[in-house]
Amino acid sequence: MARFEKREIDRLYGQSSVGVVIHRDLVALYVNDAYARMMGCRDAADFMTDPELLPYIPPAFHREALRLYQKFMNASGFHGWKKVYNLRRDGVPVWLEISDETIDWEDSRALMTTAQVIENGSTAMQVDHMLGRSFIGVAVHRDMCALYVNDAYARLMGAENASDFMKTPDLLRFVEATSRDVTSATSEKILQGVFDGSRRRECKHLDDGSEVWCDLTDERILWHDGKPAILTTAHDVREEVRMNNMLVRSRNSLQNAVAEVIRMVPTAVAMFDEDLHVLHFNREFARLFAQNPGVYPAATPEFDVSGLRLVYREMVATGHDHADRNGVVSPSGRLTDIRINRLDGGGMMVSALDVTDHKEVEKQLAVLASTDPLTEVLNRRGFEGAVNRLRDIRRLRNKKWHYGIATLDLDYFKHINDRFGHACGDRLLQEVAAVLRGALRDDDLVVRLGGEEFAVLLPSATGKITQTIAKRLADMIGDIRLQDDDGNAGAVRITASVGVTVGGEVGDQNGEVDLSTALLVADRALYQAKQNGRNCIVYADPTVPAAVILPEAASPDETQDKD
């Protein structure tokens, strides 16, 4: 377990943009200025006038914070990264990505937490970009008050569009009066993370007195203000409900009417007789389950319903009257959510919802969650996942896993923002990211660690190769020339300080330099490059105690770089 002293922490993190707090029983023993400012304090001295950490943690998470503290104090080493939000001294929420490490501090154990601010102001923009024009109704809400709705949801609830709906964002008005308390309580439990929302069917009562049936799903998300919210998706199933009601009333005497209703329903619906042959169906069912859907409606298509029959027989064997199967691939290759109901006297009713487009939206949202929205390179979460996949593939092929890593921090970037404006600073970050992506191989990784700091990971690269590539990247960044807002060509330029190390199975030791350790060593080398006057490269050897830092001109021990 690492042992630290205040002098060493001050040397490593005193002037760092990474926030550091060392605490015991959630009472700070040490903070640097960066962490103090993240919490809304002037500096570390101002923070330490009241070193309690609980006031900065939302009350709903006090119990979880204490539980994690006890867990980490009973363990050792590094405990991973996670995203949280804290409350600044003025009560404003702040998004953080933090890591915890159990260390020896002075006379006993303590917990060292490092923190970086995450810019999440684009969450609402991402949701609107992905789902704003979707045919699926989407609402984001908190305390049953809408924070965002798309046009599809607004029209489903009787409004002309989303802007019209948001004039009265109260969602409880659509819930029957006798159910409002239960609905509010359920919503609060989802917000608190007590349980996950489930798919359900509800009748909504609109302002004009009409009713609309919806299939709803709820998911707890973190909104751009740093607080939990609920994302609800809604499918209009009025026609399906109406059809089911008609079936109940007229199953024995109105078979022809039933067949006509089935054909009118937008959801895929089919009725099977007691021998499990398709009796009635609609166009959507033919599209999903017919082997030759093009012949409909001129002729009856041939159906591939063997999977549906198998589910029915399993349902009968277990004594159930209905069965749900989600994510089933239909014969047409579409993903479907299927519900099967037994009919009195034999046979079954099948309804299927094509969720392919919805799943694609979920996939795109997952990509957004792993990508920095400004520069379109990996964020830290996506970077860690990509490294794990590369490592697993390498080991499946029985090959040694090692890599070079370089962290790059743009020098005096604050001066760019102050002189030319943040929009110009954003363009410069985008240009730097484009240079890094364009100069590297397809299997090399580029990540924005935060602010103006980037990192590149080079699979199978030695320390010497990594230094060479880092020098080339730094030179390319130094060659960037951008026009300022006044049209002055080449007015905006930047240099980079670089910290270089290697990770994975390096050196003669049997252990592995994991990614978090390699990043920490590279960050220390980067700090040394800053101390050396910036616009230079420093190498740090992770296999030597305290990660000996070498200047650019020195050559690391190449024995550690052999495959």
Provide the edge-to-edge strand list for the sheet that holds 200-205: 145-149, 137-142, 228-236, 211-222, 200-205
Please report the pLDDT score of residue 11 as a whole number. Answer: 84
pLDDT for residue 45 is more than 50: yes
Those residues whose C-beta lies under 8 Å from the C-beta of residue 252, and which sit 6 or more positions away, are none
Tell me the C-alpha to C-alpha distance, in Å, between residue 240 and each of 134, 323, 349, 547: 20, 17, 12, 66
pLDDT for residue 548 is more than 50: no
> In sequence order, which ranges of 201-319 are alpha helices (DSSP H)?
238-250, 255-264, 283-289, 306-317
Q: For the chain, what's the residue count?
A: 563
The band of 554, judged by pLDDT with boundaries at 50, 70 and 90, is very low
Overall average pLDDT of the 162-175 stretch: 88
The band of 161, judged by pLDDT with boundaries at 50, 70 and 90, is confident
pLDDT for residue 553 is more than 50: no
Q: Do domains 265-358 and 374-561 have the same CATH topology?
A: no
> In sequence order, which ranges of 15-113 are alpha helices (DSSP H)?
33-38, 44-47, 62-73
The band of 122, judged by pLDDT with boundaries at 50, 70 and 90, is very low
pLDDT for residue 502 is more than 50: yes
Please report the pLDDT score of residue 181 as a whole number. Answer: 92
pLDDT for residue 408 is more than 90: yes
Tell me the C-alpha to C-alpha distance, in Å, between residue 147 and each of 93, 163, 232: 17, 12, 11
Torsion sign across C-alpha atoms 40, 43, 49, 54: positive
Q: Can you state the percent helix, strand and coil of the chain, rounding each to 5?
A: 40, 30, 35
pLDDT for residue 308 is more than 80: yes
51 token code pair: 């070193």
- Average the pLDDT over each of 323-337, 460-474, 528-542 and give the range with the smallest value: 323-337
Please report the pLDDT score of residue 30 as a whole number. Answer: 94
CATH of domain 265-358: 3.30.450.20
| pTM tops 0.85, yes or no | no
Percent of the chain with pLDDT over 70: 86
Strands 3-4 and 93-105: parallel
**Architecture, CATH, for domain 374-561:** 2-Layer Sandwich (3.30)
Please report the pLDDT score of residue 352 as a whole number. Answer: 87
457 token code pair: 């990971």
Whether 152 and 135 have beta carbons less than 8 Å apart is answered as yes
CA-wise closest residue to 424 among 452, 394, 458: 452
**Residue 122 CB neighbour total at 10 angstroms:** 14
Please report the pLDDT score of residue 556 as a whole number. Answer: 41
CATH of domain 3-117: 3.30.450.20
pLDDT for residue 43 is more than 80: yes
- Average the pLDDT over each of 6-10, 396-400, 554-558 and give the range with the smallest value: 554-558
Topology (CATH) of 123-236: Beta-Lactamase (3.30.450)
pLDDT for residue 555 is more than 60: no
b/e map 318-354, b = 16+ CB within 10 Å: eeeeebeeeebebebebbbbbbbbbbeeebbbbbbbb
Q: Each residue of 280-292: pLDDT tens digit? A: 888 888 888 988 8
pLDDT for residue 248 is more than 70: no
Domain ranges of the chain: 3-117, 123-236, 265-358, 374-561
**Residue 528 CB neighbour total at 10 angstroms:** 18
Q: Each residue of 174-231: pLDDT tens digit? A: 999 999 999 999 889 988 888 776 778 888 999 998 999 988 888 888 776 678 888 8
The band of 268, judged by pLDDT with boundaries at 50, 70 and 90, is confident
Overall average pLDDT of the 437-457 stretch: 92
Please, what is the average pLDDT of the chain?
A: 84
Backbone phi, psi, residue 447, to 5°? -135, 140
Beta bridge partners, 4, equal 105
Please report the pLDDT score of residue 258 as a whole number. Answer: 56
Please report the pLDDT score of residue 354 as a whole number. Answer: 85
Whether 349 and 247 have beta carbons less than 8 Å apart is answered as yes
454 token code pair: 């980037």
The band of 545, judged by pLDDT with boundaries at 50, 70 and 90, is low
b/e map 63-79, b = 16+ CB within 10 Å: eebeeebeebbeeeebb
Beta bridge partners, 207, equal none
pLDDT for residue 5 is more than 50: yes
